[in-house]
Amino acid sequence: MYYESTRGEAPRVTAAAAIVQGIAPDGGLYVPAEFPAVALPEIAAFPGLSYQERAARIITPFLENFTPAEIRACIGAAYNTRKFAHPAIAPLKSLGDGSYILELWHGPTYAFKDMALQLMPHLLVLSRRKTGNAAESVILVATSGDTGKAALEGFRDVPGTRIIVFFPAEGVSEMQKRQMVTQEGNNTYVVGVAGNFDDAQSGVKEIFTDPEMRARLKAAGFEFSSANSINWGRLLPQIVYYFSAYADLLAIGGVKSGEPVNFVVPTGNFGNILAGFYARLMGLPVKRLVLAANANNVLTDFVRTGIYDRRRPFYKTISPSMDILISSNLERLLYALTGRDAAAVRNWMGELKERGVYRVPEAVAAQVREIFWSDWADDATALATIKETFRRYGYLLDPHTAVAVAVYARYRATTEDGTPSIILSTASPFKFNRDVACAVIGEEAAARHDEFALLEILARETGWPVPEGLRTLAGKPVRHRRVVQREEMKKVVAEILGI
């Protein structure tokens, strides 16, 4: 199976090349030339398979030239009980009244990014070998929090790779910072940047595209690579859990084979929900994809109007991983809905870059409205939802998932659609313990405790164990102390690599 660029001005490539390159040379995103169908009787047999077997079945047709043994080895290295705290990897929990929670946060960093970033490094190493590229991969990441830690855990001690993560020294939560500066592994480097996320991100982009830097790297046997969510290697693993959740729902009698479900997805860069759209294309019975946004509601407006307009204020919210105004992966949806009209996609992306806004024709907007439904929830609503869901069901939500639960309640009330619905839970509530504790025990009570005491309090309230990797953070030695100015980022990369 070949991959083509959404902008239509780059040659088709193999899966391995798409994963190695990350982004196409014409600035577009790689998409498979076709989507393999999974027939209903086969989906009906999924409940008898493990998560690992389901994963192998879904991803194999997308990875031509990868042998079954190679794919099994990658999956085995990614999804196992040393890495994931739950044997089902992505378990489904019933909330009652026909709604379900799909927990995607049992991986090493307690957020859904692990579902992709545990597998992707293994796919990248194999892809490099298959494309005849012997260089060692240097993964450069700028992070606002979750991605950096998930990428560090995914790449740690993976042979043939080194990972360098830049984070804004004053721009991440205390828990997130501790998670990163205590990172273990013999190929991991974490550097604070004096500045905000944009400083870190623009610094990384400059290093990536600096010809002199690239030449020096090449001479030393290295090559830059990226682990961000436009890489096909990060999207592909996410299709799996949509099928897996449907299988688990079949197993508990929540649906009969072939009956449709809705998925509700807390959305930022449009990667997670796009995987759901692809699952639907492949034959999974999905009625609606409910797109839940926070105050940065650019996608809600797009779903309702067909106008994407990023010219609006940026809000810092308690669901920071959804604080995003340019949702890169939407480009892939537009490509699919226009019947692969690369010229149209190129135009819209050009308008977005130059004017900050574009509008799709009514025929496309109507398709978007048929498949998607969207609303957004502010911080106060998310906190109230955490409190109310805990009171009613004894189930604790993190702020991102709370946005989804709040939006789903509005979907239900507005449309009166009683189709069984699966809400994707993207982070452990323990990871966002301060805001979650405020919702559960009150702001004043929460203010009296430090981060680690709050973990114990939440554990007492829920009867859930404190995630091991968060509890032990208090005693872990700091291994990464570098903090640099924005202008020194290039120098520090050269120093780390010894070039």
Question: Which residues are at the interface with ligand PLP (CB under 6 A)?
Answer: 111-113, 146, 229, 266-272, 321-322, 400, 426-427
CB 328: neighbour CB atoms within 10 A? 17
With CA atoms as reference, report the closest residue to 147 among 449, 445, 426. 426
Specify the residue, 1 or 85, whose C-beta has the smaller distance to ligand PLP. Answer: 85
Q: How far is the CB of 243 from ligand PLP (least distance, A)?
A: 18
Q: How far is the CB of 147 from ligand PLP (least distance, A)?
A: 7
CB 79: neighbour CB atoms within 10 A? 23
Specify the residue, 412 or 431, whose C-beta has the smaller distance to ligand PLP. Answer: 431
Please answer whether residues 190 and 183 qualify as being in contact, where contact means their C-beta atoms are separated by less than 8 angstroms: yes
CB 138: neighbour CB atoms within 10 A? 22
Q: How far is the CB of 400 from ligand PLP (least distance, A)?
A: 4
List of residues 6+ apart from 363 with CB closer than 8 A: none
Known catalytic residue at 113: yes
Which of 83, 93, 113, 387 is labelled catalytic?
A: 113
How far is Cα 190 from Cα 166, in angstroms, rounded to an integer? Answer: 6
Q: How far is the CB of 146 from ligand PLP (least distance, A)?
A: 4
Q: How far is the CB of 274 from ligand PLP (least distance, A)?
A: 8
Specify the residue, 116 or 484, whose C-beta has the smaller distance to ligand PLP. Answer: 116
Specify the residue, 292 or 441, whose C-beta has the smaller distance to ligand PLP. Answer: 292
Specify the residue, 113 or 412, whose C-beta has the smaller distance to ligand PLP. Answer: 113
With CA atoms as reference, report the closest residue to 96 among 405, 382, 378. 405
Please answer whether residues 153 and 165 qualify as being in contact, where contact means their C-beta atoms are separated by less than 8 angstroms: no
List of residues 6+ apart from 357 with CB closer than 8 A: 307, 308, 309, 310, 311, 351
What are the angstrom distances between the C-alpha of 78 and each of 74, 199, 221, 235, 238? 6, 32, 27, 15, 13
How far is Cα 155 from Cα 118, in angstroms, rounded to an integer? Answer: 8
Active site residues: 113
